[in-house]
Amino acid sequence: MKRFLFIQQNYPFQNIQAFENQELVLAITAFEQRVSLLFIGNGILQLLEKQSTVRMFRKNFTLIFKAANLYGVDDIYVDSTALSRWEIKPEDLMVKTTQITPAEIKVLAKSFDFILATG
């Protein structure tokens, strides 16, 4: 079984990349691979609770993160510097996450077989 780390780094509704990355996560987990998510930079905004897409006429794909563990996502990590930059507290996020520093991200990345930074 291979280990995949998906890095989410884009605003949630800026373009289709974040959505497509999430679709890829779901596809990989369907094949019973080990998947973890890492939210860095602007990607941290994908985890904010109570986002509305009504005025954008888009489906709020970020809600699926609430069920990530049901789909086989092992861990959800967030960059602590991104939280500080955006002045976000862990309780503002829709899911339980593990905060890690940029130095810890480098160490963490070495434990994965594949790293995909597309969303």
| Assigned fold of 3-116 | Hypothetical Protein Ychn; Chain: A, (3.40.1260)
The answer to whether 48 and 93 have CB atoms below 8 angstroms apart is yes
59-116 pLDDT tens trace: 655 556 665 776 778 899 999 999 999 999 999 998 899 999 999 999 999 999 999 8
- Reported as type and span, the H/E element at residue 106 is helix 102-109
User: pTM of the full predicted structure?
Assistant: 0.83
Domain boundaries, the chain: 3-116
The answer to whether 25 and 35 have CB atoms below 8 angstroms apart is yes
Q: How confident is the model at residue 27 (pLDDT cuts 50, 70, 90)?
A: confident
Other C-beta atoms within 10 Å of 98: how many? 14
Q: How confident is the model at residue 56 (pLDDT cuts 50, 70, 90)?
A: very low
pLDDT of residue 26: 81
Q: Give CA angle at 119 (2, 78), nearest 5°.
A: 75
